[in-house]
């Protein structure tokens, strides 16, 4: 912060007076100050002429060829030709690289030159197979902000509102203290496990409680590997859709039966006769 | 003028600039141009979840029904309400020290907003199980598990299982009759695991039957272990959605 470039106060005040923004006025005033400083040092302003740069390079190469001047082999040509950076021909550039590597006559190589003592690489070669090539068709897309984020925000608000209203009017149940010695008349798992509990009615507990759920889970995970049909269009996958709908319906039915049509002792009841034996 | 100076003073310093990346709308302002829309998405932590642009058809409510997003939102909501509940709950039970159950009583009787937050947590949990089920159905009917998304479906099934386990472990915590016996139905089934039935049940219950050890064990599972695992799988799920080229479709 301390050695910041001085600004030309006069220029700054003038520009502010003209109604320019603070930022622009400051930048221009800074530039003016730098310009003045350079003139004071006797430097020329503006881009350096090309001849001057080439001349500096020639000088440098002569020095390099005669073995003097360059202290270490790796040392980049010290100072002086900073202004020449952008104006080298490919040959000149190659010569410069070669000079700094200490092997004037050979063509520049990408890796470590065999004759050199250097062990670091200037460039890494990446085989084409090492590059992830992504090819995709141009798609009809819209900006995430504002389009998607707005939709998401509305969905989020709607759900929050719904939950708040529900929570305001319906209290979560709390029964009497847990008592391992007193089996309640109606004894049910949470609704998402009612399908399993209903199965328990028909099968041995090992089948209903362990084998079938295991088969369902593994079966679900296997779906993408079993369904080899490449089309995602409903027209082309009637069998898959039918099978899944059947599975969902079957499961839904078990949950509904278990939740609403089972009463004391897990016997069949009609809720309008015996009341709803179901707690969320 | 004064307003502009104040804004400059707040925004033109190292601290502000260290918080907001170059190009952030909080550094350089926002005009409704394509460039600024892109920058708004890029210089935002949500860039981890959303690319700059998304497929137009995915915006239609009837494509995703927002179900995956809502499942995730409910997960967040449950985390927040759950932390609140943790301040007022001790997982202790057993003859003479029915702390857990009494805590639940106090929650509705004497904690400000206690009942409301408990309700939110309870109904939110049921809602999340429901939205995750529906999300799975939506994904199936769109054939959205087809290559390259096969593995993300598998991750999804694991998330479904984790959601059920989160819900189920939470069910025991109020330590009332409802909780005890609903959970008993479930854990009895576990006891029928072939060969290792007794061992499985013992690990789950920390005892031969549901008791104080079970409560502590399920509490830790519910508030720490399963949420942690779930977050890991959620990260993989979301990462794969983007790597697989955003959401599927259009049909
Ligand atoms: C905690 C539960 C879950 C969360 C928070 C979640 C979140 C998400 C989100 C936000 C998306 C983006 C698209 C959308 O919203 O539909 C998505 C896509 C997807 N999810 Fe889930 N998900 C969960 C469970 C599942 C389950 C149970 C499955 C399947 C068994 C699944 C399979 C997939 C697949 C395959 C996609 C890509 C869909 C597409 O490209 O259209 N996820 N998920």
Average pLDDT over residues B51-73: 88
| B-interface mutation test, from A145, A157, A202, A231, most B Cβ less than 10 A away | A145
Contact check, Cβ <8 Å, A170/B55: no
CA of B71 to the centre of ligand 1 (A): 9
For B9-47, give one letter per residue: b (16+ CB within 10 A) or e: eeeeeeeeeeeeeeebbebeeeeeeeebbbbbbbbbeee
Please report residues of B whose CB lies closer than 8 A to that of A164: 120
Average pLDDT over residues B190-216: 87
Report how far residue A265's alpha carbon sits from residue A267's, in angstroms, rounded to the nearest whole number: 5
Q: What is the pLDDT of residue B153?
A: 97
Contact check, Cβ <8 Å, B120/A163: yes
**pLDDT of residue A156 exceeding 90:** yes
Contact check, Cβ <8 Å, A210/B120: no
Average pLDDT over residues A130-142: 75
Q: B2 to each of B7, B10, B13, how far by Cα in Å? A: 9, 12, 18
> Which residues in chain B (156-175) have CB-CB distances under 8 A to chain A?
157, 160-161, 164, 167-168, 171, 174-175
Average pLDDT over residues A102-126: 57
Average pLDDT over residues A48-56: 76
Report how far residue A73's alpha carbon sits from residue A104's, in angstroms, rounded to the nearest whole number: 11
Q: What is the pLDDT of residue A127?
A: 74
Question: 0.80 exceeded by the pTM?
Answer: no
Indicate the pairing of strand B53-55 with strand A141-143.
antiparallel
Which of A4-8, A228-232, A237-241 has the highest average model confidence (pLDDT)?
Answer: A237-241
Contact check, Cβ <8 Å, A143/B52: yes
- The reply to whether A139 touches chain B by the CB within 8 Å rule is yes
Evaluate: CB of B153 within 6 angstroms of ligand 1.
Answer: yes
Evaluate: CB of B159 within 6 angstroms of ligand 1.
Answer: yes
- The reply to whether A128 touches chain B by the CB within 8 Å rule is no
Average pLDDT over residues A187-205: 91
Q: Whose CA is nearest to atom 14 of ligand 1?
A: B68
Higher pLDDT, B1 or A240: A240
**pLDDT of residue A166 exceeding 80:** yes
CA of B136 to the centre of ligand 1 (A): 7
Higher pLDDT, A43 or B134: B134
- The reply to whether B94 touches chain A by the CB within 8 Å rule is no
Closest chain A residue by Cα to residue B50: A144
Q: What is the pLDDT of residue B102?
A: 94
- The reply to whether A235 touches chain B by the CB within 8 Å rule is no
Q: What is the pLDDT of residue A96?
A: 81
Please report residues of A whose CB lies closer than 8 A to that of B150: 224-225
Of B208, B222, B126, B228, give the one whose Cα is nearest residue B174: B222
Q: A14 to each of A18, A279, B105, B244, how far by Cα in Å? A: 6, 79, 75, 57
> What integer best gives the mean pLDDT of chain A?
81
The proportion of chain A whose per-residue pLDDT surpasses 90, expressed as a percent, equals 32
Q: What is the pLDDT of residue A72?
A: 41
Instruction: Confirm if B197 and B191 have CB atoms less than 8 A apart.
Output: yes
Sign of torsion, CA A35 A38 A40 A44?
A: negative
Query: A198-235 pLDDT, tens per residue?
Result: 999 999 988 988 899 999 999 999 999 999 999 889 99
**pLDDT of residue B47 exceeding 50:** yes
CA of B68 to the centre of ligand 1 (A): 5
Query: A57-101 pLDDT, tens per residue?
Result: 788 878 766 654 444 444 444 444 444 445 778 888 888 877 777
Higher pLDDT, A126 or A30: A30
């Amino acid at each position: 912060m301390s050695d910041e470039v001085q600004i030309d106060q006069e220029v700054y005040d003038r520009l502010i007076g003209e109604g320019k923004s603070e930022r622009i006025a400051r930048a221009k005033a800074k530039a003016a100050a730098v310009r003045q400083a350079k003139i004071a040092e006797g430097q020329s302003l503006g881009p350096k002429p090309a001849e001057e740069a080439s001349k500096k390079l020639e000088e440098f190469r002569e020095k390099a060829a005669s073995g003097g001047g360059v202290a270490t082999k790796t040392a980049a040509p010290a100072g002086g030709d900073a202004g020449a950076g952008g104006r080298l021909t490919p040959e000149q550039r190659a010569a410069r690289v070669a000079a700094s590597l200490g092997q004037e006559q050979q063509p520049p190589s990408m890796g470590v030159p065999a004759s050199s003592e250097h062990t670091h690489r200037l460039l890494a070669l990446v085989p084409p197979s090492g590059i992830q090539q992504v090819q995709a068709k141009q798609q009809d897309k819209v900006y995430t902000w504002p389009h998607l984020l707005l939709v998401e925000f509305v969905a989020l608000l709607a759900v929050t509102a719904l939950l708040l209203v529900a929570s305001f009017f319906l209290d979560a149940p709390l029964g009497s203290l847990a008592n391992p010695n007193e089996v309640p008349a109606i004894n049910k798992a949470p609704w998402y496990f009612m399908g399993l509990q209903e199965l328990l009615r028909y099968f041995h507990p090992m089948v209903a409680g362990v084998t079938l759920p295991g088969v369902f889970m593994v079966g679900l995970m296997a779906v993408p590997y079993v369904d080899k049909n490449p089309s995602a269009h409903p027209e082309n996958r009637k069998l898959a859709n039918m099978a899944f709908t059947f599975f969902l319906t079957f499961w839904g039915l078990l949950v509904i039966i278990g939740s609403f049509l089972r009463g004391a002792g897990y016997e069949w009841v009609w809720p309008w006769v015996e009341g709803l034996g179901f707690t969320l | 003028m004064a307003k502009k100076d104040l804004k400059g003073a707040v925004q033109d310093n190292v601290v502000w600039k260290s918080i907001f990346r170059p190009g952030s709308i909080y550094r350089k302002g926002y005009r409704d141009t394509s460039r600024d829309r892109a920058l708004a998405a890029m210089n935002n932590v949500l860039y981890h979840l959303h690319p700059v642009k998304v497929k137009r058809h995915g915006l239609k409510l009837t494509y995703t029904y927002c179900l995956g997003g809502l499942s995730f939102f409910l997960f967040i909501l449950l985390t927040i309400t759950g932390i609140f509940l943790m301040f007022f709950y001790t997982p202790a039970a057993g003859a003479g020290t029915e702390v857990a159950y009494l805590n639940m009583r106090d929650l509705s009787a004497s904690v400000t907003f206690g009942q409301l937050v408990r309700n939110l947590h309870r109904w939110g949990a049921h809602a999340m199980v429901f939205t995750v089920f529906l999300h799975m159905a939506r994904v199936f009917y769109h054939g959205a598990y087809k290559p390259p998304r096969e593995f993300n479906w598998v991750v999804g099934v694991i998330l479904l299982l984790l959601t059920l386990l989160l819900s189920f472990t939470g069910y025991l915590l109020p330590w009332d009759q409802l909780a005890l016996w609903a959970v008993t139905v479930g854990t009895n089934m576990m006891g029928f695991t072939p060969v290792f039935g007794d061992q499985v049940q013992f690990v789950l219950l920390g005892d031969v039957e549901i008791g104080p050890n079970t409560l502590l064990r399920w509490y830790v599972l519910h508030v720490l272990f399963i949420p942690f695992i779930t977050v890991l799988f959620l990260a993989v799920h979301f990462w794969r959605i983007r790597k697989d080229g955003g959401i599927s479709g259009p049909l």
